[in-house]
Amino acid sequence: MLDNYLLEELVTFAQNGTLAKTAALLNVTQPTVTRGMQKLEADLQVQLFKREPNRISLTKTGELAASEAAKLLQANQQLIKQIRNFDQNQTTLKIGAQLPGPLMLLEHLRPNLPQKVQLDWDFVQNKSVADWLTNRTGTLLFSNQALSTKTIEATYVGTEKLAVNLNKFMFQGNQKTISFKELSGISFLVLSAIGPWRTIIQQEIPKAKFLYQQQLAALVEITQYSDFPYFSTNLARFDATLLKQNRIDDNRVCIPLSDASAQMPIYAIYLKSQKQRVLPLIEQVSQAWPKTKK
């Protein structure tokens, strides 16, 4: 059995090339590193280093050993992370999303949720959804894509619908619905982190100008002192900051967008092995989801 500290010394030496740098980075003495290298060679029963006057370097075997040791150390770190994530997920549901609306709803529901939850506001990218679940980084993910594999399944929870908040004195302000085409050439305040909605509005209104804001509080404050239109969805009503803004008489009207691309189905994605744990929460989210008025 090889000791991890020996592998760390080998990898650090391969990356930096000298005993002095290796010792400094690992916060040990140079003789300690030398003894560690000798022990590693003895344990493996191979020559890893070429020793010359005032110089030491890796043999070809040493280079291979360093490369494989780096992989092993990374695998060990991943194992530790996965086990810790699994342990945390036994008592807490860590919930992520690819867009903010579902998290706004969950934050609103938090006092009445059946179990302890942790909301992750760092949006998960499409390419890492399976890893995010499989590595136990999170337990449940809300997405506009219904991922389905041998170990993962998705449940539809509701449709998020986009609307635009326009000054009621604009000529479009008296409409019951509006299309993306009718918004061409207008400047909008937009929250930066809105997931796939950002791509949609940019594609559907190519001649519009988008003034992106990093913080929701900043966007709300700017809307109070300007007439810039901004977007919202049927889930925005659950966010305390946006709810406060909507109560302010700022001469804006909220008009739903009629385009099909402004209607986004949302799915809850989870490991099949976690289905019984997450279904009660999914049902609660689905029941609280805004229903379409007939």
Position 293 pLDDT exceeds 70 = no
Count helices and strands (H / E) in the chain. 10, 11
Determine contact, residues 161/233, Cβ cutoff 8 Å. yes
Higher pLDDT, 287 or 172: 287
Identify any residues that bridge with 178 across adjacent strands, giving them in sequence order: 257
pLDDT, tens digit, for every residue of 219-237? 888 888 888 999 999 999 8
Cα–Cα distance measured from residue 24 to residue 199, given in angstroms and rounded to the nearest whole number: 47
Region 111-130: mean pLDDT is: 81
More confident residue, 83 or 273: 273
Across residues 284-292, what is the average pLDDT? 91
Tokens of 139: 């337990």
**Average pLDDT over every residue of 9-22:** 90
Are 73 and 8 spatial neighbours (Cβ–Cβ below 8 Å)? yes
Is pLDDT above 90 for 73? no
The least confident of 63-77, 124-138, 225-239 is 124-138
CB distance 189 to 229 below 8 Å: yes
- Give the pTM: 0.69
User: What own/partner pairs with CB < 8 Å and gap ≥ 24 does 40-43 have?
Assistant: 40/2, 40/6, 40/7, 40/9, 40/10, 43/2, 43/6
Among 24-38, 132-146, 192-206, the range of highest mean pLDDT: 192-206
pLDDT at position 76 is 84
3-class state of residue 114 by DSSP: coil
Which pLDDT score, from 0 to 100, does residue 101 have?
Answer: 94
Strand partners for 51 = 56
**How many CB atoms lie under 10 A from the CB of residue 119?**
16
Q: Which domains does the chain have, with CATH numbers?
A: 4-88 (1.10.10.10), 90-158+264-288 (3.40.190.10), 160-263 (3.40.190.10)
Using DSSP's 3-state secondary structure scheme, residue 44 falls into helix
Residue type (1 letter), 247:
R
CA dist 7 and 16 (Å) reads 14
Would you state the structure tokens that stand for residue 247, as one six-digit string? 């109560």
The residue type found at 256 is: P
Pairwise pLDDT comparison (119 vs 123), residue with the higher score: 119
Instruction: Give 124-185 as a DSSP string.
Output: PPGGGHHHHHHTTS-SEEEESS----SSEEEEEEEEEEEEEEEETTSGGGG-S-B-GGGGTT
Phi, psi of 161 (to 5 degrees): -120, 130
Between 267 and 2, residue with greater pLDDT:
267
**Alpha-carbon span 165 to 173, nearest angstrom:** 9
Per-residue pLDDT at 249 exceeds 60: no
DSSP 125: P
Q: Does residue 294 have a pLDDT over 50?
A: no
More reliable by pLDDT, 244 or 98: 98
Mean of all residue pLDDT scores within the chain: 88
Please name the residues in contact with 253: beta carbons below 8 A apart, sequence gap of 6 or more.
Answer: 165, 166, 167, 168, 173
| Sign of the four-CA dihedral 56, 62, 64, 65 | negative
Cα 244 from Cα 27, distance rounded (Å): 53
Q: Coil, strand or helix: which one is 241?
A: helix
pLDDT at residue 246, rounded to an integer: 59
For residue 178 the two structure tokens come to: 């509006």
Span 209-219, pLDDT tens digits:
999 999 888 88
What would the pLDDT profile of 149-173 be if each residue is shown by its tens digit?
999 999 999 999 999 999 888 888 8
